[in-house]
Amino acid sequence: MASLNDNAPALRVRDLRKTYDNGTQALKGVSLEVAPGDFFALLGPNGAGKSTLIGIVSSLVNLSEGQVDVFGTDLVRERSAAMRLIGLVPQEINFNLFEKPFDILVNYAGFYGVDRAEAEKRAEEELKRAYLWDKAQVMSRTLSGGMKRRLMIARAMMTRPRLLILDEPTAGVDIEIRRDMWRVLKEINAAGTTIILTTHYLEEAEHLCRNLAIINHGQIVTQGPMRQLLAKLDVEGFLLDIDGELPAQLPLIEGTTMTATDVHTLDIDMPRAMDLNRVFAALNASGIRVRSMRTKSNRLEELFVRLTGNQETSA
Ligand code: ADP
């Protein structure tokens, strides 16, 4: 159905400020825009203001000053219309563990006024998309941690939100589970739903998102396309596993910095454009033979540290 707001950004935040009752200024004038169809990451260390921002957008927290609109719908003046456009996946699992996934979804949709037949149709679709259809009729408490999280996503999709918001969806879950969730989120985004997620896992943002904003101390540090931000990083770090032992005196290779992590491992930083063969040849000439190499660090993490000067970036 065509609407007047089809060309409006999925989310537009203008000069948003939040001061909590105790005087904490959690947001100090945040502005950002998320395009329709985008997969957008909001990154920042603990206490940066991510949850406050997400809380305001999903109407759980009142804003102090500023403007927020969702697909052109003002969050304050047209609150219920704006809320209907949003699906929220909170951090904590909060469905009834003694209900079956199918019933959880159908009842949730019913709460939002979706009729029974439609709700059942959607529940089937969403459980299939979340790879949970074979679990539709089991007791939810028997689901694995990853399945429970996918069920949270499926539930949020029952109201057919145009904007899906996830607050640290993978905090504390292992890599397999995270990858399963990524797959589901990618499918949801590919089908047209705009997604905003906050995450501590910088690798996750890099893997999923096209655009991001980095927030620190209640202010946006930078925002833009992920690719463009990553391109700013011109230094790459590697760990080289060495055959035998490293000499006490490491060779000097112009443009690189090297340190021995232990006698078998060389930690090296070099410009991204540097020819690796030249580095290997120079090492060889000093009797150092490289057996294998690994990328040392997450590029986004480096970017984050560089932009915010903050070291507390990993979960
Ligand atoms: P993040 O999600 O990035 O960790 P938050 O939005 O939770 O950051 O917190 C931002 C700041 O606001 C922090 O200093 C935090 O202590 C403070 N804060 C968060 N919630 C409240 C609250 N309900 N009352 C007072 N201060 C709060």
Q: Region 275-303: what's the mean pLDDT?
A: 84
Q: Residue 188, SS3?
A: helix
Q: How many domains does the chain have?
A: 2
Q: Is residue 23 part of a domain?
A: yes
Check: CB of residue 253 under 8 Å from CB of residue 214. no
- The answer on 287 and 159 residing in a single domain is no
What angle, rounded to 10 degrees, do the helices at 145-156 and 116-129 form? 140
Q: Give 25 Cα–ligand 1 centroid separation in angstroms.
A: 9
Q: Region 275-302: what's the mean pLDDT?
A: 84
- Given ligand 1 and candidates 19, 20, 30, which is best to mutate, with the most ligand atoms within 8 Å of its CB? 20
What is the atom index within ligand 1 of the atom nearest the CA of 45?
Answer: 3
Instruction: Give the pLDDT score at 314.
Output: 40
Q: Region 110-125: what's the mean pLDDT?
A: 97
Per the structure, the complete domain to which residue 282 belongs is given by 233-296
Instruction: Give the pLDDT score at 300.
Output: 67
- The answer on 220 and 247 residing in a single domain is no
- Given ligand 1 and candidates 22, 52, 202, which is best to mutate, with the most ligand atoms within 8 Å of its CB? 52
Q: Region 107-112: what's the mean pLDDT?
A: 96
- The answer on 257 and 153 residing in a single domain is no
- The answer on 117 and 251 residing in a single domain is no
| Any ligand 1 atom below 6 A from CB of 11 | no
- The answer on 257 and 215 residing in a single domain is no
Instruction: Give the pLDDT score at 1.
Output: 42
Model pLDDT for residues 136-190, shown as the tens digit of each residue: 999 999 999 889 999 999 999 999 999 999 998 877 777 778 888 999 999 999 9
Q: Give 63 Cα–ligand 1 centroid separation in angstroms.
A: 13
Residue spans of beta strands (DSSP E) within the chain: 11-19, 25-34, 39-43, 65-70, 73-74, 86-89, 163-167, 194-199, 211-216, 219-225, 235-243, 257-262, 265-271, 289-295
Between the alpha carbon of residue 133 and those of residues 99, 119, 130, 159, 272, the distances in Å are: 15, 15, 8, 18, 45
**CA gyration radius, the chain:** 23
Q: Is residue 177 part of a domain?
A: yes
> Is pLDDT of 258 > 80?
yes
Check: CB of residue 70 under 8 Å from CB of residue 10. yes
- The answer on 161 and 290 residing in a single domain is no
Instruction: Give the pLDDT score at 312.
Output: 47
Model pLDDT for residues 186-223, shown as the tens digit of each residue: 999 999 999 999 987 777 888 899 999 999 999 998 89
Q: Is residue 314 part of a domain?
A: no
- Given ligand 1 and candidates 17, 24, 312, which is best to mutate, with the most ligand atoms within 8 Å of its CB? 24
- The answer on 256 and 223 residing in a single domain is no
Instruction: Give the pLDDT score at 257.
Output: 86
Model pLDDT for residues 47-104, shown as the tens digit of each residue: 999 999 999 999 999 999 999 999 999 999 999 999 999 999 998 899 999 999 999 9
> Is pLDDT of 116 > 90?
yes
- The answer on 258 and 122 residing in a single domain is no
